[in-house]
Amino acid sequence: MKLNSKIPEGPLENKWRNYQVQSHLINPTNKKKLSVIVVGSGLSGAGAASTLAELGYDVKCFCYQDSARRAHSVAAQGGINAAKNYQHDGDSIYRMFYDTLKGGDFRSREANTYRLAELSAPLIDHFVQQGVPFAREYGGTLDNRSFGGVQVQRTFYARGQTGQQLMLAAYSQLYKMVRAKKVEMFPRSEMLDLVVIDGKAKGIIVRNLVTGELQRYAADAVVLATGGYSRVFRLSTLAIGCNGSAVWKAHKKGAFFGAPSFTQIHPTALPQSSEAQSKLTLMSESLRNDGRIWVPKEIGDTRLPNKIPEEERDYYLERRYPSYGNLAPRDIASRAAKERIDAGYGIGKLKNAVYLDFKHAIEKFGLKTIKDRYGNLFNMYQKITGIDAYKEPMQISPAAHFSMGGLWVDYELMTTIPGLYAVGECNFSDHGANRLGANSLLQASVDGYFILPNTINNYLATESKADHPSIDHPEFGKAEQEISEHITRILAINGTKTVDHFHRELGRVMWQECAMSRNKAGLEKAIREIKQIREAFWKEVKVTGKHNEMNPELEKALRLADFIELGILMCTDALEREESCGAHFREEFQSAEGEALRRDEKFAYVSAWEYDKGDFKLHKEALEFEFVNPSVRSYK
Amino acid sequence: MKVIFKIWRQEGPNEKGTIRDYEVDGLNEDMSFLEALDHLNELLVLKNEKVIAFEYDCREGICGQCGVFINGRAHGPHDNITTCQLHMRSFKDGDTIVVEPWRAASFPVIKDLIVDRSALDRIIEQGAFITAKTGTAPEANSILIPKETADRAMDAAACIGCGACVATCKNSSAALFTAAKINHFNSLPQGKAEEHKRVAEMMFQMEIEGFGSCTFTGACEVECPESISITNIAEMNARYVKSKLLK
Ligand SMILES: Cc1cc2nc3c(=O)[nH]c(=O)nc-3n(C[C@H](O)[C@H](O)[C@H](O)COP(=O)(O)OP(=O)(O)OC[C@H]3O[C@@H](n4cnc5c(N)ncnc54)[C@H](O)[C@@H]3O)c2cc1C
Ligand code: FES
């Protein structure tokens, strides 16, 4: 199968318009007869579901939480980027496009990245209209701040709760359409399989998490908006329920997986403090606007941080990257922290952290300003650690955070299965090998609100003439049967180890070999070990309770079974890519100064993996740079 | 660290529930309260018992999915935090910790510590939105909003929808939840066009869901993880009166 990215003709700035002019329209009467399933109610899912419903389609929307409002978009703190140039600091669509492409180390498509920047300004208009209480200046205009990896102020924010406010706006609009009876909402429902009929996506199998019942839903198109899969590392900044099951099942049914190993490790999370830890809390990157990162110059310095004089502190980001300093992009900041920690300079109980210090900012701007800017983050820090960060530096550490990888999609956000779309974090599209801070709320939102509702017509226009699928089709029966057997098999193992035991094992291997720094031998070992974990899981796991009841342990087991398989693919992808780019750092490919060595001559492509009976086959989408010249990424 | 959990177990909405005792060893102070329950659940699995069903997702105090009564208080012994942010350092070795689900007629128990809070979604459905279609927005800075107004709207909009206000209220009133949402929208220029309708319809829904009325005891603002002030309720009531007068 040849990958067709369907990039429209014309100069960058006309591509999206050209696309819209040429795409099919469907008349309102026909739209009413067409139905769309949206799996996920985060920014991308809720945005897509409500907008598709406004356009007249009949929409069913699913999420695993008890309410659509709780999708993990709610946890984003820092902000959302847009090229409004309100600060008059020289920002533009082109600059934002270039920053994003460069931030991703030239491993994403020009056309997609440009469209992301182009739609950013109207998105802010949209959210303001929906009542998002963004931060404002005294004069009443919108305020901005800056985020890592860029030199302009283009980030819009609502205190430290930007994701929550955007999410609640999206949820409001979703419920507006629930009230209009155009969206039917199914909370506490987990998609366990995709149903493909004659090569096209026509429905899903869902487990009702209250009753355990397996249910069938059919539609003319299926949209996955299921978020990131970084819980494959177990410890991450994601919610406990975040999973890779929906995309994994779609992958097994034929959707190619794009750049699965590209994972962002965030530099400023709270360090792990015990084995029992279930998640790592993120401290917003915006803190790096005013906080300075350092470790002691001497290994094993046991003095309290405030007792260490200035000249004995190593502000290593400022030292290594003088022009960006503490605002270096995430991949670079995380790797630099890992370098210091591995070299023995780590601080804290487990020597696994670095300091983030506000002393100078408080001296310069006053306590009140810092409280205004970050009050709720400092409160959160105190609640979790018991430490007052106005008085002593925070301790922070890198944590798995964001999946740049995801289902491969073309310019229309359609996967390689006709009629199956992927939006938001679960697709691979705009961020390349590293995502810039505050760009993914943006991507999830424009995917859902602006792009998909324009592109899905193109497909549905042809489907409107076809028969509408029925849940009585044998493919539904087959898929349901397979899931039912899968569940029975897990419950029957009755071994001696818990699901969490295996998840910890998987997380350990993935974190060691497939996170901030990777190498051939390590990845080969990881693949072997994960296969052993898979074998052990299927022999020794123990899950109590029944299939036909609310059973949180079974939910965890089903998610983990998919994570294990996904972990193998991630390591396979990381092994295949013999270069360093963005967050993907292969130790064999680095410069003399320890910076990433990209190899455009061989690896300027998006890897797109096809599932092949338990094995994976690589396809390559060549990345052609028509408008910019991929430079060596430098933040020095 | 060792504690004795006394936990509400209930198989389903129509079964009878009961408190059961679990002595749990091997905990430490840095564990969160929910991680202690995770640990207990692992022990239960190994003893071939069903796990305790309890809610969580983000585990960082923002999604609002977690929430139980701990020793008689919503979200545990501290003011203004969620259950997931509570750590075992708040307890002493040997403590007895009683854990129960939210109690409110409008929040029926589904299983063990999990309740059905969909009534809150239905209140939202009745008008917590601005009726404007995607693609119709004017330039964002074309409507100026003074910082104070935006900040006040944000104070109210911060609600995470956990339901602690309802659970802790002796009347099981959802007034704080509803007021926060109404005041968020109604204080912004974008929410003006539908302000009266919004108040009337959301408050009506609150009634038919069976939530009690507010008698201003102030219990809710003590537990609210976002410290949403009870003055919001007075403001909502004023808006309600105004919406009636203008009818
Ligand atoms: C702690 C944190 C902070 C962040 N901060 C920022 C920031 O400041 N700026 C920024 O731009 N980005 C930030 N991000 C990233 C950004 O929040 C996410 O990439 C984005 O919100 C993802 O939105 P989404 O719609 O794709 O997925 P989500 O919001 O994660 O939604 C996923 C949805 O899918 C549903 N779902 C998942 N699996 C299934 C299944 N099998 N069956 C049924 N339903 C399912 C869930 O119930 C949920 O409704 C942050 C991320 C984290 C974790
Ligand atoms: S789990 Fe999200 S608020 Fe507690």
Does B238 lie in the same domain as B122?
Answer: yes
Give the number of other Cβ atoms within 10 Å of residue B14's Cβ: 8
Q: How confident is the model at residue A373 (pLDDT cuts 50, 70, 90)?
A: confident
Closest CA relative to residue A568, chosen from A619, A531, A521, A610 = A531
- Segment 43-82 of chain A within 8 Å of chain B by CB: 47, 50-51, 54, 65-70, 72, 74-75
Closest CA relative to residue A283, chosen from A380, A156, A386 = A380
Phi, psi for residue A202 in degrees, rounded to 5: -130, 0
Name which of A66, A141, A142 is nearest B65 (Cβ-Cβ): A66
Name which of B28, B48, B188 is nearest A274 (Cβ-Cβ): B28
CB-based contact A67 B161, cutoff 8 Å: yes
Q: Residue B60 C-alpha to ligand 2 middle, in angstroms?
A: 5
Q: Give me A124's structure tokens.
A: 């802010």
Last residue in a domain, options B93, B111, B129: B111
pLDDT tops 70 at residue A348:
yes
Q: Residue B84 C-alpha to ligand 2 middle, in angstroms?
A: 5
The atom number, within ligand 1, closest to the CA of A448 reads 25
Size of interface A-B (CB pairs under 8 A): 208
Taking a C-beta distance cutoff of 8 angstroms, is the pair A82, B70 a contact? no
- The ligand whose atoms approach the alpha carbon of A171 most closely is 1
What distances in angstroms separate CA B68 from CA A550, B60, B83, B95, one per listed residue? 18, 15, 7, 18
If you average pLDDT over residues A520-534, what whole number do you get? Answer: 98
pLDDT tops 70 at residue B170:
yes
Taking a C-beta distance cutoff of 8 angstroms, is the pair B214, B233 a contact? yes
Q: Residue A412 C-alpha to ligand 1 middle, in angstroms?
A: 21
Taking a C-beta distance cutoff of 8 angstroms, is the pair A45, A70 a contact? no
pLDDT tops 80 at residue A1:
no
**pLDDT per position as a tens digit, A57-107:** 999 999 999 999 999 999 998 899 999 999 999 999 999 999 999 999 999
The atom number, within ligand 1, closest to the CA of A281 reads 1
Distance of CA B241 to the CA centre of its chain: 26
**pLDDT per position as a tens digit, A558-579:** 999 999 999 999 999 999 999 9
**Catalytic one of A154, A330, A435, A559:** A330
Give residue A463's pLDDT. 85
To the question of pTM greater than 0.90 for the whole model, the response is: yes
Q: Residue A521 C-alpha to ligand 1 middle, in angstroms?
A: 33
Q: Give me B11's structure tokens.
A: 């198989």
Distance of CA A254 to the CA centre of its chain: 22
Q: Which of B32, B75, B78, B82 to mutate to test the pocket of ligand 2 (most atoms within 8 A of CB)?
A: B82
If you average pLDDT over residues B164-181, what whole number do you get? Answer: 98
CA distance B87 to chain A (A): 7
Indicate whether residue A190 lines ligand 1 (CB < 6 A). yes
CB-based contact A140 B129, cutoff 8 Å: no
Does B34 lie in the same domain as B11?
Answer: yes
CA distance A65 to chain B (A): 8
Q: How confident is the model at residue B51 (pLDDT cuts 50, 70, 90)?
A: very high
Mean pLDDT of chain A: 95
Give residue A81's pLDDT. 97
Q: Give me A224's structure tokens.
A: 């996955």
Domains of chain A: 266-400 (3.90.700.10), 474-602 (1.20.58.100)
Let me know if A330 is a catalytic residue: yes
Q: SS3 for A617? A: strand
The set of residues, in sequence order, having a beta carbon less than 8 Å from that of A200 and lying 6+ positions away, is: A417, A418, A419, A463
Last residue in a domain, options B111, B133, B168: B111
Does B214 lie in the same domain as B130?
Answer: yes
Give residue B247's pLDDT. 65
| A150 touches B: beta carbon within 8 Å | no
Report the Cα–Cα distance between both ends of chain A, in Å, rounded: 42
pLDDT tops 80 at residue A149:
no
CB-based contact B150 A133, cutoff 8 Å: yes
A contacts of B128 (beta carbons < 8 Å)? 172, 175
- Does the CA dihedral A307-A309-A315-A320 come out positive or negative? negative
Does B235 lie in the same domain as B124?
Answer: yes
Residue B142's domain comprises 118-245
ipTM of the complex: 0.98
Residue listed under structure tokens 């299965």: A417
Name which of B55, B114, B137 is nearest A125 (Cβ-Cβ): B137
CB-based contact B38 A279, cutoff 8 Å: no
Mean pLDDT of chain B: 97
Name which of A67, A279, A553 is nearest B117 (Cβ-Cβ): A67
Q: Chain A: residue nearest B183 by CA?
A: A131
Q: Which of A51, A61, A63, A268 to mutate to test the pocket of ligand 1 (most atoms within 8 A of CB)?
A: A63
Does B123 lie in the same domain as B101?
Answer: no
The set of residues, in sequence order, having a beta carbon less than 8 Å from that of A51 and lying 6+ positions away, is: A448, A449, A452, A453, B134
Does B133 lie in the same domain as B104?
Answer: no
Distance of CA A200 to the CA centre of its chain: 26
Taking a C-beta distance cutoff of 8 angstroms, is the pair A107, A623 a contact? yes
CA distance A152 to chain B (A): 19
Alpha-carbon distance of A142 to A87, in angstroms, equals: 10
Strands A155-156 and A80-81, bridge-based pairing: antiparallel
Give the number of other Cβ atoms within 10 Å of residue A447's Cβ: 32
pLDDT tops 70 at residue A548:
yes
If you average pLDDT over residues A131-157, what whole number do you get? Answer: 92
How many Cα atoms occupy the beta-carbon half-sphere of A427 within 13 Å? Answer: 30
- Segment 435-464 of chain A within 8 Å of chain B by CB: 449-450, 453
Q: Chain B: residue nearest A86 by CA?
A: B141
pLDDT tops 90 at residue B107:
yes
Name the E strands within A424-496: 427-428
Last residue in a domain, options B111, B135, B164: B111
- Indicate the residue type of A256: F
CB-based contact B60 A139, cutoff 8 Å: no
**pLDDT per position as a tens digit, A207-264:** 999 999 999 999 999 999 999 999 999 999 999 999 999 999 999 999 999 999 999 9
Does B132 lie in the same domain as B86?
Answer: no
Does B62 lie in the same domain as B8?
Answer: yes
Burial call B88-125: b when 16+ CB within 10 Å, e when fewer: bebbeeeeebbbbbbebebbebbbbbbbbbbbbbbbbb
Distance of CA B230 to the CA centre of its chain: 15
Would you give the DSSP letter of residue A599? Answer: -
Indicate whether residue A79 lines ligand 1 (CB < 6 A). yes
| A629 touches B: beta carbon within 8 Å | no
| A139 touches B: beta carbon within 8 Å | yes
Instruction: Please tell me the total count of domains within chain B.
Output: 2
Does B197 lie in the same domain as B97?
Answer: no
Taking a C-beta distance cutoff of 8 angstroms, is the pair B44, B37 a contact? no
Does B88 lie in the same domain as B53?
Answer: yes
CB-based contact A69 B121, cutoff 8 Å: yes
Does B88 lie in the same domain as B13?
Answer: yes
How many Cα atoms occupy the beta-carbon half-sphere of B156 within 13 Å? Answer: 29
Mutate to test the interface with A, among B48, B52, B63 (most CBs of A within 10 A): B63
Does B149 lie in the same domain as B232?
Answer: yes
DSSP secondary structure string, B75-100?
A: TSSSTT--GGG-BGGGS-TT-EEEEE
Residue B84 belongs to a domain with what CATH number?
3.10.20.30
Residue listed under structure tokens 């669509």: A93
- Segment 490-509 of chain A within 8 Å of chain B by CB: 496, 498-501
Alpha-carbon distance of B228 to B164, in angstroms, equals: 12
Q: How confident is the model at residue A372 (pLDDT cuts 50, 70, 90)?
A: confident
**pLDDT per position as a tens digit, A120-141:** 999 999 999 999 999 999 999 9
CB-based contact B64 A70, cutoff 8 Å: yes
If you average pLDDT over residues A158-180, what whole number do you get? Answer: 96
Alpha-carbon distance of A526 to A533, in angstroms, equals: 10
CB-based contact A383 B85, cutoff 8 Å: yes
Name the E strands within A348-501: 354-357, 394-403, 406-408, 420-422, 427-428
CB-based contact B114 A550, cutoff 8 Å: yes
Indicate whether residue B103 lines ligand 2 (CB < 6 A). no
Q: Give me A464's structure tokens.
A: 């409107």
If you average pLDDT over residues B31-50, what whole number do you get? Answer: 97
If you average pLDDT over residues B59-77, what whole number do you get? Answer: 97
Residue B197 belongs to a domain with what CATH number?
1.10.1060.10
Q: How confident is the model at residue A589 (pLDDT cuts 50, 70, 90)?
A: very high
